[in-house]
């Protein structure tokens, strides 16, 4: 790899802290002077559970949002063109980096939160989130063109959502291809720079209050919070452009949540199965496609999962 500008290297390192499905880190980068080109890497796609590459592009969108914020931290102005080639949806974005003013306090706060944000899979405390904190998190999604729809504990459709989560988990558990794919990316050796190590997989729950992904290697049964705050992230359409927008919205809302010490936990199996995804949309009378299902709450700080090195994510001819 050619010598990268130290600032671009820092930007790419921060971008790589993005959340990604099963920590697949499905992005590849090329650097041309002050231009960073982000491509989705189909060799890291969950071909069976995510045949359209929807979750892959959500993950890449989160990478782009981090890159934008990290650029601001370096006093650079990111000029982002999403999907610059309409015929190539793997070419996620081109990010031009121009000299700019220093970051304002909000930009700096979010850029600093990049390394503090982590996914949790443990039960949360039983403390409800304050309305103004939830509102700030919803505004963050809105700022990136998405909607974070809360599923209130009192909402009757919530039971239906939970039974759809259960159904999707049961169907995936019986699907050898889905299980094989999961096995390749989870319960990995603790020093592997991608995938999720065993100790991070968290417990499973038999109760019907909290949506949790049941990993093959989930460590036992636990009691989850009584009244979890659930939310679903929606985008206007369901195209690669919407999925990249969902990823940027997801990461912005997660970073804002991090600044309030709020953590997120995801249960997206229900959205990987087209039937349960459709049924969830019906159950909640959603007028837009759901992209992520999550719980939000306060709790212990999990360890950070590892990432590939910047060199590893940069394409060889860069
Ligand atoms: C599209 C997408 C789907 C995800 N689905 C789940 C899920 O169903 N269950 C879960 O525990 N984590 C899920 N995650 C979180 C990833 O596992 C997590 O981001 C990754 O392991 C890296 O860890 P970190 O977020 O702590 O940095 C998802 C993340 C993305 C971007």
What would the mean pLDDT of 6-17 be, rounded to a whole number? Answer: 97
Q: Give percent above pLDDT 90 in the chain.
A: 88
Q: In this structure, are 140 and 262 located in the same domain?
A: yes
Q: In this structure, are 168 and 271 located in the same domain?
A: yes
What pLDDT, in 10s, does the model give residues 172-211? 999 999 999 999 999 999 999 999 999 999 998 877 788 8
What would the mean pLDDT of 79-89 be, rounded to a whole number? Answer: 96
Asked, for residue 249, whether it belongs to a domain, the answer is yes
Q: In this structure, are 76 and 194 located in the same domain?
A: no
Q: In this structure, are 108 and 148 located in the same domain?
A: no
Q: In this structure, are 140 and 288 located in the same domain?
A: yes
Closest residue by Cα to atom 10, ligand 1, is 266
Tally the C-alpha atoms within 13 A of residue 136's C-alpha that lie toward its C-beta. Answer: 15
Q: Is the CB of 249 under 6 A from ligand 1?
A: no
In the reported structure, the alpha carbon of residue 184 is separated from the centroid of ligand 1 by a whole-number distance in angstroms of 15
Distance of CA 53 to the CA centre of its chain: 14
What was the pLDDT predicted at 124? 95
Q: In this structure, are 111 and 231 located in the same domain?
A: no
Which structural domain range is residue 102 located in?
6-117
Count structural domains, the chain: 2
In the reported structure, the alpha carbon of residue 155 is separated from the centroid of ligand 1 by a whole-number distance in angstroms of 26
In the reported structure, the alpha carbon of residue 81 is separated from the centroid of ligand 1 by a whole-number distance in angstroms of 25
Of the candidates 80, 52, 62, the one whose C-alpha atom is nearest the C-alpha of residue 23 is 62
Asked, for residue 263, whether it belongs to a domain, the answer is yes
Q: What is the pTM of this model?
A: 0.98
Q: Give percent above pLDDT 70 in the chain.
A: 98
Q: Which residue has the higher pLDDT, 52 or 127?
A: 52
Asked, for residue 309, whether it belongs to a domain, the answer is no
Q: In this structure, are 158 and 212 located in the same domain?
A: yes
Q: Is the CB of 214 under 6 A from ligand 1?
A: no
CB 99 within 8 A of CB 116: no
Q: Is the CB of 121 under 6 A from ligand 1?
A: yes
Asked, for residue 66, whether it belongs to a domain, the answer is yes
Q: What are residue 76's phi and psi, to 5 degrees?
A: -110, 150
Closest residue by Cα to atom 11, ligand 1, is 266
Tell me the CATH number at 73: 3.40.109.10
In the reported structure, the alpha carbon of residue 14 is separated from the centroid of ligand 1 by a whole-number distance in angstroms of 17
Q: In this structure, are 66 and 135 located in the same domain?
A: no
Q: Which residues contact 203 (CB under 8 A, 6 or more apart)?
A: 121, 122, 123, 212, 218, 219, 220, 221, 222
Asked, for residue 126, whether it belongs to a domain, the answer is no
Q: Is the CB of 65 under 6 A from ligand 1?
A: no
Q: In this structure, are 110 and 172 located in the same domain?
A: no
Asked, for residue 209, whether it belongs to a domain, the answer is yes
| Closest approach atom of ligand 1 to CA 17 | 27
Q: In this structure, are 38 and 167 located in the same domain?
A: no
Asked, for residue 122, whether it belongs to a domain, the answer is no
Q: In this structure, are 93 and 154 located in the same domain?
A: no
Asked, for residue 314, whether it belongs to a domain, the answer is no
In the reported structure, the alpha carbon of residue 20 is separated from the centroid of ligand 1 by a whole-number distance in angstroms of 5
């Amino acid at each position: 790899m050619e010598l990268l500008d130290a600032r671009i290297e820092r930007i790419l390192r921060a971008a790589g802290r993005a959340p990604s499905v099963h920590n697949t880190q499905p992005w590849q980068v090329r650097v041309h002077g002050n231009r960073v080109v982000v491509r989705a890497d189909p060799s890291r796609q969950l071909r069976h559970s995510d045949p359209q590459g929807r979750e892959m592009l959500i993950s890449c969108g989160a990478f782009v949002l981090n890159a934008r914020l990290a650029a601001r931290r370096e006093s650079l102005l990111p000029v982002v063109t999403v999907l610059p080639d309409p015929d190539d949806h793997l070419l996620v974005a081109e990010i031009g980096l121009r000299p700019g003013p220093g970051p304002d306090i909000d930009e700096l706060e979010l850029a600093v939160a990049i390394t503090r944000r982590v996914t949790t899979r443990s039960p949360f405390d039983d403390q409800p989130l304050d309305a103004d904190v939830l509102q700030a998190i919803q505004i963050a999604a809105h700022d990136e063109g998405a909607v974070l729809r809360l599923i209130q504990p009192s909402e009757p459709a919530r039971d239906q959502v939970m039974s759809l989560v259960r159904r999707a988990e049961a169907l995936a558990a019986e699907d050898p291809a889905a299980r094989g794919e999961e096995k390749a990316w989870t319960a990995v050796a603790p020093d592997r720079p991608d995938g999720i190590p065993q100790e991070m997989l968290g417990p499973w729950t038999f109760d019907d209050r909290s949506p949790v992904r049941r990993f093959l290697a989930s460590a036992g049964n636990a009691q989850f919070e009584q009244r979890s705050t659930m939310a679903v992230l929606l985008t206007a359409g369901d195209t690669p452009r919407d999925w990249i927008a969902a990823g940027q919205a997801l990461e912005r809302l997660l970073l804002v949540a991090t600044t309030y010490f709020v953590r997120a936990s995801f249960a997206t199996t229900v959205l990987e199965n087209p039937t349960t995804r459709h049924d969830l949309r019906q159950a909640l009378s959603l007028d837009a496609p759901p992209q992520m299902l999550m719980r939000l709450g306060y709790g212990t700080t999990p360890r950070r999962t590892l990432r590939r090195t910047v060199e590893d994510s940069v394409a060889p001819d860069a």
